[in-house]
Chain A
Amino acid sequence: MELLDLSFFTSAIRMISPILLAALGGALCARVGIFNVGLEGLILAGAFSAIVGNYYSGSVLVAVLVGALGSVLVSLLFGLAAIRLKANPIVAGIAINFLVLGLTTFGLRAIFDVKGAFYDKNMEGLPKLDIPVIEGIPVVGKLLSGHSPLVYIAFLAGILLYIFFYRTVTGFRVLAVGKNEAAARSLGLKVTVLQYGAIVACGILCGLAGAQLSLGQVTMFTEGMTAGRGFIALVAMMLGQSHPIGIVGSSLLFGLMDALSIRLQGFSMPTQFTAMLPYIITIIAMFFLKDRGADSQLSGQQSSR
């Protein structure tokens, strides 16, 4: 087995989608001035709801929708705390992460009466999409074809978000809210509506990310199965400076590392060591971040000028 063969890149592309989807959601929140640390919790809520939807309906489409809905509900709770009650978004986000971790563990027992993980062989996973023309092209076909629909949706979402931010009026206003909320309010822009809109959209994206996790490879849910992907998404968002195309790039990097860590296990590297890879990259990425990220004009000291 080679280290970097075609299937390595195929798996990297598959690994990217949850990170990319969540990072895009986080970017939306960052762009309206809310730093959403609760991505991890939102993905987990999406993963669990998707399994519940799948189990009761038997339909993958319904499962994905239920996954998105579950995540949106948790996201709205976060929005309520951060926008309406003006809680510190970091504290609210961390609370969301712990809340969902506990809630899904409890849900496993209450709904499925199992501990740790739930698997049912009758559950159907996400289908693999074979793209007609591309499928036929030798290397590219194998690389780009045959992924779950959510993988394609993730990349599509990146492009759509780019068009939204930089081409549409509403997107322009969303950017304005994040840059200078006071100025946006003074213009009579509907700041709160835009913020809730971003929160809901973030919920949908994280829900899809969760569905990809629980329905994408093996159709099952395990406790805390996000395993820090929400935080990696947060870093991907910061590394991409909340710019959709930048985020696609940084998510690709993290997806590659994720795939690499799995591949290295095949080279009799200790799992514990390979599992560190994405996080080492995260730390290295931090060096390049420094004080960048979505810049907002908030600062502690005001100037009299």
Chain B
Amino acid sequence: MTYRLEMKEMTKKYGEFLANDEVSIQLKKGEVLAIVGENGAGKTTLMRMLYGLEQPTSGEIKLNGKTVKFSGPLDAIENGIGMVHQHFMLFSDFSVTENIVIGHEPKRNGFFDRKEAAEKVKALSEQYKIHVNPLKKAGDCSIGEQQRIEILKVLYQGADIIILDEPTAVLTPIEVEELLKTIQFLAEQGKSIILITHKLPEVMKVSGQITVLRNGKVTGNVLKQNTDIEQLATLMVGRELQKLTDRNQLEGEPLLVIDNLNIGVKEAKPILDHLSLTVNRGEIVGIAGVSGNGQSELIQAISGLRKIDSGSIRLGETILNGKSVAYIRNAGLAHIPEDRYLWGAAKEASVEETGLMGYYRKKKFNQSSFIRLNGFRKLVRGWIERFEIKTTSLDEKSGNLSGGNLQKLIVARELGFETDFLIAAEPTRGVDIGAMEYIHEAIIAKRNNGDGILLVSSELTEILTLSDRIAVMYEGKIVDILDRNDATEERLSVLMAGGNENESSTKTTTTA
């Protein structure tokens, strides 16, 4: 039989750089193809060529056996190819309906028929069991709902081949489950799905066929039943993954002590509600929770970015609450922030300047208010080498680094402060497996060194691998603290959804 889509020996050169080197994929009707690979492996380039955003240097695209050429996204859309971008392409002021029908609006006498549009969206939403509220403003929708809008949009455009670019990166575990179900349902309805991701457990759950890319080349093309996560990881990274360094048992004295912390007491629902938590020396405490349950506010309160209503935060003997950020950092706190662009770096600043942030206060690099760059450059070069940060030079704009490389730079900077205490919030968000290994290794090393670490992550696997103890947050409270040996993904999921551990594990109410 002919394939619905074939991409044959696709090559894309940017100057001398080979982004795609004779990459071929095939896709049948009703099939889910996963394309996996690290950041910069060429997944996005391949999809941009398929979606008409880039012209291939050489190669051929065949749809149902016929050779096609796309000069822009419009061509691709007309030929039944739809793409759900990683960064959503939504108009937040427009309604859900308007976002879905735009480009193919139902008309009556040349006027936009919004009534009919809403009905069409409703019918489509029921047909594919993808729930949205057609009249809500897109900006008021949750991230998961926004993604459903995007999927409905490509379905509305009549797509038979749907490309999902890193669709689970921004979702909560419950939303991920729902999305995977939707993907399976769409495949059953005869749609062909291309799933771009580097999260292997999800790949193993939904895809039939898996193509692995590394450095622009196909390193493997396997069927799900013939492979496992370890093999895929090896194909992706090009070497076997190392086992994390063993953790030595440490019995440390309390380092960070949070006592009865309250934020937002005057609001209908407090943001942090009588929260107490202790992090000992030589310990990683992980905070698990569906995002938006007060984790961000907790981090901001500890690091001095947000005012608290009552309670106390101590680091060793120093009282942190009510103090300035600089004071707190001086007292021995480093902070890998959860959003690298918002809190961690200035996009327009150079790599060197991003690295310098915070260090210019140190005596070593500050001579009567003049920055001593020489010693500092050596330090940054050391980080670049140790963490294998890919940058053309120290003068490159940080905004030009890929997300993973910028994250590594920030991690290196914060570890470089050599403080007793570290807040690591989403330390590996958007980072590929190789880099994740480095970062995890570095965090464990810091722990083994006798420092305390507070880890906040929306990745349960990350929490489970790294933490000594796991605190679960729900609606501003810590509902339970589990020891690493007692914690499983299932138990945590139930707690995160606000369920009581003693109740049956089937009760996972959607709170997102």
Interface residues of A (CB under 8 A from B): 167-169, 171-173, 175-176, 179-180, 182-183, 185-189, 295, 297, 300-305
Give Cα A173–Cα B348 distance, bound, in whole angstroms.
32
Contacts of A180 in B (CB 8 A): 89-92
Q: Does B201 contact A (CB under 8 A)?
A: no
Whether a CB of chain A sits under 8 angstroms from the CB of B430 is: yes
Known contacts: A169-B110, A180-B90. The answer to whether A187 contacts B339 by CB under 8 A is: no
Q: How many angstroms between the C-alpha atoms of A167 and B115 in the bound complex?
A: 12
A189-B89 in contact given A301-B341, A304-B340, A304-B429 (Cβ < 8 Å): no
Is there contact, CB below 8 Å, between B342 and A303?
Answer: yes
User: In the complex, what residues of B have CB within 8 A of residue A188's CB?
Assistant: 72-74, 77, 103
Contact among A173, A175, A183, A305 with B339 in the assembled complex (CB-CB below 8 Å): A305
Determine the distance from Cα of A186 to Cα of B76 in the docked complex, in whole angstroms: 11
- 7 contacts across the A-B interface (CB closer than 8 A): A171-B112, A176-B102, A179-B92, A182-B89, A188-B77, A295-B93, A302-B341
A188 and B339 alpha carbons, distance in the complex (Å): 31
Asked if A167 contacts B111 (CB within 8 A), the reply is: yes
Q: A180 CA to B94 CA in the complex, in Å? A: 11
For residue A167, which residue of chain B has the nearest CB? B111
Query: How far, in whole Å, are A186 and B47 apart by their CA atoms in the complex?
Result: 13
8 additional contacts, CB 8 Å, given A169-B112, A180-B92, A189-B102? Answer: A167-B111, A183-B90, A188-B74, A300-B347, A300-B348, A302-B341, A302-B347, A304-B339
Whether a CB of chain A sits under 8 angstroms from the CB of B98 is yes
Which residue of the partner chain, among A182, A189, A300, A304, contacts B403 with CB atoms under 8 Å? A304
Query: Is B297 an interface residue when CB atoms closer than 8 A count as contact?
Result: no
CA of A176 to CA of B92 in the docked complex: distance in angstroms? 10
In the assembled complex, the CB of B99 is this many whole angstroms from the nearest CB of chain A, namely 9
Q: Are A176 and B94 in contact (CB under 8 A)?
A: yes
Chain B residues in 8 Å Cβ range of A189 = 102-103
Give, as a whole number of angstroms, the nearest-CB distance from B5 to chain A: 19
Could you say which of A167, A186, A297, A300 contacts B112, with CB atoms under 8 Å apart? A167
Binding site for A on B (CB under 8 A): 72-74, 77, 83, 85, 89-94, 98, 102-103, 105, 107, 110-112, 143, 170, 339-342, 347-348, 403, 429-430
With A188-B72, A301-B347, A305-B339 already in contact, the answer to whether A168 and B111 are too (CB < 8 A) is: yes
B93 to chain A: which residues have CB within 8 Å? 179, 295
A173 to B293, CA, bound (A): 37
B92 touches A297 (CB 8 A): yes
Report how far A256 CA is from B91 CA in the complex, Å. 37
Assembly CA distance A302 to B72 (angstroms): 26
Residue of B nearest to A186 (CB): B89
Task: List the A side residues contacting B430 at CB < 8 Å.
Answer: 304
Given A297-B92, A303-B341, A305-B339: A172 touches B347 (CB 8 Å cut-off):
no
Closest B residue, CB atoms, query A166: B112
Q: How far is the CA of A303 from the CA of B112 in the complex (A)?
A: 33
Q: How far is the CB of B382 from chain A (nearest CB, A)?
A: 25
Task: List the 4 closest pairs (A to B, CB-CB), nearest first.
Answer: A188-B74, A183-B89, A187-B103, A179-B91
A187 near B347 with CB under 8 A, answer: no
Q: Which residues of A contact B102 (CB under 8 A)?
A: 172-173, 176, 187, 189
Cβ–Cβ < 8 Å partners of B110 in chain A: 168-169
* Separation of A247 and B73 alpha carbons in the complex (Å): 36
A305 engages B90 (CB within 8 Å): no
Q: Contacts A172-B102, A172-B112 known; A305 to B170 CB distance under 8 Å?
A: yes
Q: Which of chain A's residues has its CB closest to B77's CB? A: A188
Q: How far is the CB of A177 from chain B (nearest CB, A)?
A: 10
Residues of A within 8 A of B89 (CB): 180, 182-183, 186-187
Chain B: which residue is nearest A305 at the CB level?
B170
Q: How far is the CA of A278 from the CA of B315 in the complex (A)?
A: 59
B contact residues around A179 at 8 Å (CB): 91-94
Q: For the complex, what is the distance from the CA of A188 to the CA of B403, rounded to whole Å?
A: 27
Q: How far is the CA of A186 from the CA of B51 in the complex (A)?
A: 10
Q: Chain A's nearest CB lies how many Å from the CB of B84?
A: 11
Q: How far is the CA of A77 from the CA of B106 in the complex (A)?
A: 35
CB contact between B91 and one of A169, A171, A176, A303 (< 8 Å): that residue? A176
A189 to B347, CA, bound (A): 29
Q: Assess the B111–A169 pair: CB atoms within 8 A.
A: yes
Tell whether, in the assembled complex, residue B342 and residue A301 are in contact, meaning their CB atoms are under 8 Å apart.
yes
